[in-house]
Amino acid sequence: MRIGFIGLGGMGTAMARNLVAAGHTVLVWNRSPGPVAELAAAGAVSASIEEAFATGTVLSMLADDRAVTERLLDPAALAAAPAGALHVNMATISTALAERAAREYAERGLRYLAAPVFGRTEAAAAGNLTIVTAGEPAAIAEVQPLFDVLGRRTWTVGEVPAHANLVKILGNYLVACSIEAMAEATTVIEAGGLDPALFIEVLTDNLFPGPVFAGYGSMIGKRSYEPVNFRLPLGFKDVGLALSAGQERNVPLPFGGVLRDAFIEALAHGQGEQDWAAVAETARRRAGLA
């Protein structure tokens, strides 16, 4: 297929590269030129956002609501899209923005899918993402071959695009809650004179297998938060998305309030460049161990 791809951060770069490798013609755009050159060397085509939209099928992986609003709801970009063009937004954005995007695209005779992903950059590079999508079934069928390149599995959660974002936001909320729970538990373990890494090993052996507990647990148990895969302020942004999603639906989120404070405290202590798992240090600091 001939497609556009907008947003070449760590995730987007790995994803676009896989699409190129699978034989697709990929017109890529990014705010800064470095990643574009890198992708072009791998066979992609450097393009403007308008050119990307002109292909009729655009995937995007931008950083946040602000970037999505600026780039993908830009009237000039949308004007460049042929009638019925399909945009697949794979970023983690608010459900409010997803609802607005779906509405504005429909008003212009364009089609919009939400398809956020679970998985970090290694999973993206390995074509091993979990994709959660929602929207018009025909549109999903159209890009399923692209999803098959990018991910290990695609979950369709209905026809309302914002619902896919809701699943992604609350999924990340579960991850953040798991990090905080392990932080608190390992701090008691450490204060009690036991090795937190051993505790994590026992718990992930059977009760809590899987990448979240084993992966973040290992980082927390060893207090080793390198390499930085997902910066702490981005994690804080995602906690904010969950709190907003709850607030808009009148759902109190008491764990979310605790998470909010833990992230703010980490930022107050200069942890803004660390991986979000390092928010676990907040629990140690409060216990006088840091």
Active site residues: 168
DSSP 8-state secondary structure symbol assigned to residue 216: I
Cα separation of 182 and 234, whole Å? 20
Binding-site member from 198, 224, 228, 273 for a second copy (CB under 8 A): 198
Residues 63-102 that bind a second copy (CB under 8 A): 95
Binding-site member from 171, 232, 237, 274 for a second copy (CB under 8 A): 171
Cα-only R_g, the chain: 20
Task: Assess 152 for contact with a second copy (CB under 8 A).
Answer: yes
Question: Near a second copy by CB under 8 A, which window of 23-31, 109-117, 139-147, 153-161?
Answer: 153-161
Dmax over CA atoms of the chain, in Å, equals 66
Task: Assess 207 for contact with a second copy (CB under 8 A).
Answer: yes
Q: Is 263 helix (H, G, I), strand (E, B) or coil?
A: helix
Decide: 135 and 114 in contact? Cβ < 8 Å.
yes
The angle, 0 to 180 degrees and rounded to 10, between the axes of the packed helices 254-268 and 232-248 is 150
The angle, 0 to 180 degrees and rounded to 10, between the axes of the packed helices 232-248 and 95-107 is 70
Decide: 171 and 177 in contact? Cβ < 8 Å.
no
Binding track, positions 251-290, relative to a second copy; x by CB under 8 A: xxxxxxxx-xxx-xx-xxxx------------x--xxx--
The alpha carbon of residue 263 and the mean position of all alpha carbons in its chain are separated, in whole angstroms, by: 18
The angle, 0 to 180 degrees and rounded to 10, between the axes of the packed helices 161-191 and 232-248 is 120
Q: Is 113 helix (H, G, I), strand (E, B) or coil?
A: strand
Binding-site member from 5, 29, 118, 276 for a second copy (CB under 8 A): 118
Q: Please report how close the Cβ of residue 13 comes to a second copy at its closest, in angstroms.
A: 22
Q: Which is nearer to a second copy, 79 or 174 (CB)?
A: 174
Question: Near a second copy by CB under 8 A, which window of 56-64, 80-88, 142-150, 201-209?
Answer: 201-209
Question: Near a second copy by CB under 8 A, which window of 19-27, 40-48, 138-146, 149-157?
Answer: 149-157
Q: Which is nearer to a second copy, 18 or 187 (CB)?
A: 187
Cα separation of 271 and 290, whole Å? 13
Task: Assess 175 for contact with a second copy (CB under 8 A).
Answer: yes
Q: Which is nearer to a second copy, 32 or 250 (CB)?
A: 250
Q: Please report how close the Cβ of residue 26 comes to a second copy at its closest, in angstroms.
A: 26
Task: Assess 188 for contact with a second copy (CB under 8 A).
Answer: yes
DSSP 8-state secondary structure symbol assigned to residue 64: S
Task: Assess 9 for contact with a second copy (CB under 8 A).
Answer: no
Q: Which is nearer to a second copy, 71 or 120 (CB)?
A: 120
Q: Which is nearer to a second copy, 25 or 155 (CB)?
A: 155
Q: Which is nearer to a second copy, 47 or 266 (CB)?
A: 266
Cα separation of 213 and 215, whole Å? 6
Taking Cα atoms as reference points, which of 114, 112, 127, 113 lies closest to residue 167? 114
